[in-house]
Amino acid sequence: MIWSRAVLIGGIINISVIGSGYVGLVAGVCFAELGHNVILVDNDRAKYSVLARGECPIHEQHLPKLLARHRGKRLSFSSSLHDAVLASEVVFIAVGTPPANNGEADLSYVESVAREIAGAINSYKVVVDKSTVPVYTSDWVRHVMVLNGAQPDMFDVASNPEFLREGTAVTDFLYPDRIVIGAHSLPTSNLLRDIYRPLCDGSYYQGLSAIPVPQGAKLTPPLIATDTKSAEVIKYAYNAFLAMKISFINAVATICESVGANVDHVRDGIGTDTRIGKRFLYPGIGYGGSCFPKDLSAYRAVAQECGYDFRLLEEVMRINDDQRQRFLHKVRRALWTLKGKRVGVLGLAFKGGTDDVRESPALAIIESLVDEGCEIQAYDPAAGERAREILGTKGVRYVDSAYAAVESADALLVLTEWEEFKSVDLARVRELLRYPIVIDGRNLFDPETMREHGFMYLSVGRPDVPLKEEKVRRQRRRTRHAVRQAEEARPGSRLANITAEL
């Protein structure tokens, strides 16, 4: 094993990260933040030029600031994997592992990167899987590299799964609950330890420019050193467990709806037990995103290959799919027929705080409503553009505020848990909506407050707030009066149409 002494001086390590998607970009930028020299590699010319221009291609808190801090200093970009590998001791593979048709993870990008790395090795390297991959991937990477000419004693393969959430990826990286390193040998494990040393010994947190500590964060995270297969299992088991928590509470919410119980109280009742915990027990329209749906299918496929029928995972996925259908059923229950109805939508992203719409339950629900003849007015603080690329404009109008989304709509649907939505002016929403109907797929609002504002309010796992017919009549009288006054003040204005409608 040949260690380049120069790279280890002062604890600074030369790293390349292959793939600058969510994981690669955040990891690369954060490695630079920890003091290492990083080359981010991407063969997607468009993405490469966005980064090279100094722009941030994703909506991620703190990322633009860190990119600006390190670009051209410790952080550089390259489209040449070969050159980057030559200049590095540690090469992280962070390319995509999309789902194949049979539910397995498609590892062809990982394989082709492994081939290319093999062709570029000129001195000892540690190659690290950071992409979420099935068990045995590190063995396969090693095998492919040897087949493609890499000397077996000139490299080692390790696994270092990531646990980043979109939207909080930077703080998740810099203030992790733990770091997991899977390696075959102590020197490899120690090299990876060195990369994370500023976090594990707490020196990063003492720096004046450190990204501020998020609430409840652990300082000096534990580092779990294990073998590569255990590290690979950790990542899949972890995502499967989190998804199971969500499907569990969604199933409980369904029971609550049938018996008239309140899932918020049930969550408090069970979540206060520290063995269970309240986090990640929020019911809704189901999980989405680029991780859970793909990773659960892949984990199930891995289990099947190992001869184990992991039916629990199948049920987790089934409950998740059912949540969308159950929500659509609520919309029909509130609006009766859907053809020709105008529906205001808050939220397009798969969750709040991100512009990512991959596997977003919001898009699936909108597609069904458009198929049934609804006209959608949708607002999302960040994901409008990305949603438009997928949904197009047939039946969907993308607007730039929550109030524009609800204007003259027959009902409002809440589909993403953005913090911003919690502070909308409910009285104004009530005035702008054609009918005071809100169907909340994320339980963002308090049912009592919605009742006070005169809404019919349906949420997930909590008792419905029915329509107060008297309040509706009063509101419509008030609206008619206001319209008449406005009409007198501005003859010929757009309000003339509303008067006709009333």
Which CB atom, from 359 or from 410, has the smaller least distance to ligand UGA?
359
DSSP 109-175: HHHHHHHHHHHH--S-EEEEE-S---TTHHHHHHHHHHHTT--GGGEEEEE----PPTTSHHHHHHS
Tell me if 196 contacts ligand UGA by CB under 6 A. no
Give the residue with the Cβ less far from ligand UGA, 301 or 483.
Answer: 301
CA separation for the pair 339, 43 (Å, rounded): 46
Q: How far is Cα 457 from Cα 88, in angstroms, rounded to an integer?
A: 57
Identify the residue among 63, 66, 281, 331 touching ligand UGA (CB under 6 A). 281
Stretch that binds ligand UGA, among 146-154, 282-290, 333-341, 377-385 (CB under 6 A): 282-290
Q: How far is the CB of 342 from ligand UGA (least distance, A)?
A: 26
Report the C-alpha gap between 29 and 49 in whole angstroms.
16
Shortest distance, position 123 Cβ to ligand UGA, whole Å = 32
Concerning whether 291 is annotated as a catalytic residue, the answer is yes
Q: Tell me the C-alpha distance between 249 and 461, whole Å.
A: 9
Q: Let me know: does 128 contact 318? Beta carbons within 8 Å.
A: no
Cβ 266 to ligand UGA shortest distance, Å: 14
What backbone phi and psi angles, to 5 degrees, belong to 224? -100, 110
Which part of the chain contacts ligand UGA (CB under 6 A), choosing from 119-127, 162-170, 208-216, 328-336?
Answer: 162-170
Three-state DSSP state, 498: helix
If one asks whether residue 242 binds ligand UGA (CB under 6 A), the answer comes out as yes
- In order, the DSSP letters of 173-222 are HHS-S-EEEE-SSHHHHHHHHHHHHHHHTSHHHHSTTSPPPPTTPPSS--
Size of the site for ligand UGA (CB under 6 A): 22
Q: Given 200, 291, 306, 374, which residue is catalytic?
A: 291
Distance between CA atoms of 439 and 456, rounded to whole angstroms?
8
Select from 124, 136, 205, 280 the one that contacts ligand UGA (CB under 6 A): 280
Q: Tell me how far apart the alpha carbons of residues 40 and 364 are, in angstroms, rounded to a whole number.
A: 34
Least distance (Å) from ligand UGA to the CB of residue 387? 14
Strand-pair partners of 127: 91, 157
Select from 128, 246, 253, 465 the one that contacts ligand UGA (CB under 6 A). Answer: 246
Q: By C-beta, is 132 or 188 nearer to ligand UGA?
A: 132
Kindly state whether residue 287 participates in binding ligand UGA, applying the rule CB under 6 A: yes
Q: Please give the structure tokens belonging to residue 466.
A: 């029915």
- CA separation for the pair 226, 222 (Å, rounded): 13
Q: Does 236 contact ligand UGA by CB under 6 A?
A: no
How many angstroms from the chain centroid is the CA of residue 51? 21
In whole angstroms, the minimum distance from the beta carbon of 347 to ligand UGA comes to 10
Under rule CB under 6 A, residue 189 binds ligand UGA = no
Using CB under 6 A, which residues numbered 329 to 368 contact ligand UGA? 350-351
Residues 399-428 interacting with ligand UGA (rule: CB under 6 A): 417
282 binding ligand UGA? (CB under 6 A): yes
For residue 141, give both structure tokens: 């990477």
Q: Residue from 88, 132, 171, 459 that binds ligand UGA (CB under 6 A)?
A: 132
Catalytic site positions: 291
Residues at the contact surface with ligand UGA, assessed by CB under 6 A: 132, 162-166, 239, 242, 246, 280-282, 284, 287-289, 291-292, 295, 350-351, 417
